[in-house]
Amino acid sequence: MEAGNRGAKEAGGISLGMTISLPHEQGLNEYCTLEASMQFHYFFLRKLWVLLRTRAFVAFPGGIGTLDELFEIFTLIQTKKVAKFPIILFGSDFWKPLINFKQLLDWGLINPEDLDLFKLFDDVDEASQYLQSILTPSFLENSYNR
């Protein structure tokens, strides 16, 4: 999260931080715009706010919290509770052995089109080009009307 906040701040943008109050969790990082940041007590409220204005989701290697958010997003898009938006899983060496989507498909637990919910990237420039090609002004305008 810090890398995303840092990039937004260095680009002159608002850098939103959304923390969850936990006994041993770190607070906001130094790159967050304090006036635009929030702290949540419940995970489901944080995830709701994350999804409220999400136009793309990039997941880097992470723990249970990252997986929780990722699978929540997969489920909501798969069941058409939210409009589809780009999901990037960055770091194929991490994601491929962790989540065997082919196994899920082979067992009939997901549909072939579910494999189109995400794209794997290992190169920052390629991921950036992909997002820029998808997140056109018309996509962004239409996504706010969903």
Query: HEC profile for 23-35?
Result: CCCCCCCCCCCHH
At 117 the three-state DSSP class reads helix
**In the predicted model, what is the mean pLDDT of the chain?**
88
pLDDT tens digits for range 37-84: 988 988 889 888 888 878 899 999 999 989 999 999 999 999 998 888
Q: What is the pLDDT of residue 141?
A: 66
Q: What are phi and psi of 12, to 5 degrees?
A: 90, 10
In angstroms, the CA 16 to CA 24 distance is 21
> Reading across the β-sheet that carries 87-90, which strands appear in turn?
57-59, 87-90, 119-121
In angstroms, the CA 139 to CA 54 distance is 12
In angstroms, the CA 65 to CA 36 distance is 22
CB 77 within 8 A of CB 84: yes
pLDDT band at 2 (very low <50, low <70, confident <90, very high): confident
Q: Is the pLDDT of residue 12 over 80?
A: yes
In angstroms, the CA 138 to CA 143 distance is 8
More confident residue, 143 or 83: 83
Q: Is the pLDDT of residue 146 over 60?
A: no
Q: What are the C-alpha distances in Å from 102 to residues 35, 70, 96, 106?
A: 43, 17, 10, 6
What pTM value is reported for the model?
A: 0.82
pLDDT tens digits for range 20-32: 888 877 788 899 9
- A 10 A CB-CB count for 125 gives 8
pLDDT band at 144 (very low <50, low <70, confident <90, very high): low
Q: Which residue in 141, 139, 135, 143 sits closest to 83, CA to CA?
A: 143
Q: What is the pLDDT of residue 50?
A: 83
